[in-house]
Amino acid sequence: MIAQDTIVLSNQPAAPGYFRMGLTCVTGFDTAKPGQFIMVRTGTDGTPLLRRPFSLLGLIREADRVTGIEILYRVVGKGTERLSRCRDGDRLSLIGPLGNAFIVPEDCRQLVLVAGGIGVPPIRFLAQSMLEREGDLHRCVVFVGGRTKDDLVCLTEFDLPGFLLDVSTDDGSQGNQGMVTRSLEKALDAGPVDLVCACGPPGMLKAVSAIARERGIACQVSIEAMMACGMGACLGCAVKVRDDSQHYRHVCVDGPVFDAHRLAW
Ligand SMILES: Cc1cc2nc3c(=O)[nH]c(=O)nc-3n(C[C@H](O)[C@H](O)[C@H](O)COP(=O)(O)OP(=O)(O)OC[C@H]3O[C@@H](n4cnc5c(N)ncnc54)[C@H](O)[C@@H]3O)c2cc1C
Ligand code: FES
């Protein structure tokens, strides 16, 4: 984990209310993994004071070196609004990479990924990283859901060799009509699946976890919590786990990726 000043390479609208930002990174991200996140100071003048957490959407490589990172964010408040006003060349202070990552075991053959709304970034990074993997991944299905078609961001990024993409919107404006979990259930009932990895709103993650659990399928979820420090110091990001003597874990240092079946939903 490294604190550094970075330079904004790009900051473009990706969909209504969503922006995709590229940042230079001098050092520290060569081994960054899908699921990890950064804490960014969103303004160039020191306000808001607290950094904001964002998952890695991907790494920018030049030759064999990682020279930058990308994030995808939705404008929801003061910090993300400030971020959306950044121009190419602006300097932003960040800390990262932070937290843990999704772990797809070597013997995983059938992988299912689920992204809801702004849960796309770590799932997109994970899908991309599966392409580089040596081994025997036979099948990877990606389920992406949003309230409307305007909430489907970076869909073309999942157009990857050997991947199946299944899209749902609550209002039916694109893909299947209904919640992404309905399509997921059908797919899990249709054939064997070794692992489900998901990121999205808490309600969706709870449902995905229950669906996987009922079928005895391993499930990893990347969850969010309000974060002040991102480094285990403020203890503000506690989540309850079961079967654990400590009862609570901290999303910033013990997560953000958790075994879904160990969380007390
Ligand atoms: C590990 C992690 C990874 C994240 N990755 C992404 C990402 O890739 N893209 C993205 O757009 N967002 C991501 N988020 C959420 C993002 O950090 C918040 O949306 C952001 O901090 C809001 O800052 P703000 O100043 O704009 O909003 P604020 O003014 O701070 O808050 C605006 C509204 O958003 C709510 N809010 C703020 N932070 C969170 C949070 N962490 N969880 C739930 N609700 C929140 C507040 O309660 C309030 O209602 C992530 C959060 C975590 C913890
Ligand atoms: S954000 Fe401070 S302990 Fe997790």
Question: Can you give the pLDDT at residue 27?
Answer: 85
Residue 169's nearest CA partner among 155, 156, 189, 157 is 155
Number of Cβ within 10 Å of residue 248's Cβ equals 13
Average pLDDT, the chain: 93
Whether residue 138 has its Cβ less than 6 Å from ligand 1 = no
The token duo for 139 is 């099948």
The alpha carbon of 1 and the centre of ligand 2 are apart by a number of angstroms equal to: 15
Whether residue 76 has its Cβ less than 6 Å from ligand 1 = yes
Q: What is the pLDDT of residues 167-184, one digit of tens each?
A: 999 999 999 999 999 999
Q: What is the pLDDT of residues 21-38, one digit of tens each?
A: 999 987 889 999 999 999
Give domain 110-222's CATH architecture: 3-Layer(aba) Sandwich (3.40)
Pair 159, 181: CB distance under 8 Å: no
Q: What is the pLDDT of residues 130-146, one digit of tens each?
A: 988 766 777 899 999 99
Distance CA 237, CA 187 (A): 33
Q: What is the pLDDT of residues 181-212, one digit of tens each?
A: 999 999 999 989 999 999 999 999 999 999 99
Confidence of residue 244 (pLDDT cuts 50, 70, 90): low
Distance CA 56, CA 69 (A): 7
Per the rule left: phi > 0, alpha: psi between -120 and 50, beta: everything else, 46 is left
- For residues 224-240, give the mean pLDDT: 95
End-to-end CA distance of the chain: 29
User: Using a 6 Å CB cutoff, which residues line ligand 2?
Assistant: 227-230, 232-237, 250, 252
The token duo for 261 is 């079946």
Residue 5's nearest CA partner among 36, 51, 61 is 51
Confidence of residue 105 (pLDDT cuts 50, 70, 90): very high
Distance CA 26, CA 82 (A): 23
- For residues 213-230, give the mean pLDDT: 96
Distance CA 247, CA 140 (A): 34
Distance CA 167, CA 146 (A): 8
Mutate to test the pocket of ligand 2, among 223, 231, 249 (most ligand atoms within 8 A of CB): 231
Q: Where are the domains of the chain?
A: 2-98, 110-222
Whether residue 226 has its Cβ less than 6 Å from ligand 1 = yes
Domain 2-98 fold is Elongation Factor Tu (Ef-tu); domain 3 (2.40.30)
Q: What is the pLDDT of residues 156-167, one digit of tens each?
A: 999 988 899 999
Q: At what angle do helices 202-214 and 180-190 cross, to 10 degrees?
A: 20
Distance CA 98, CA 231 (A): 8
Residues 6+ apart with CB under 8 A from 138: 109, 110
Share of the chain above pLDDT 90, in %: 83
The alpha carbon of 189 and the centre of ligand 2 are apart by a number of angstroms equal to: 38
Q: What is the pLDDT of residues 50-90, one digit of tens each?
A: 999 999 999 999 988 999 999 999 999 999 999 999 999 99
Per the rule left: phi > 0, alpha: psi between -120 and 50, beta: everything else, 243 is left
The alpha carbon of 225 and the centre of ligand 1 are apart by a number of angstroms equal to: 8
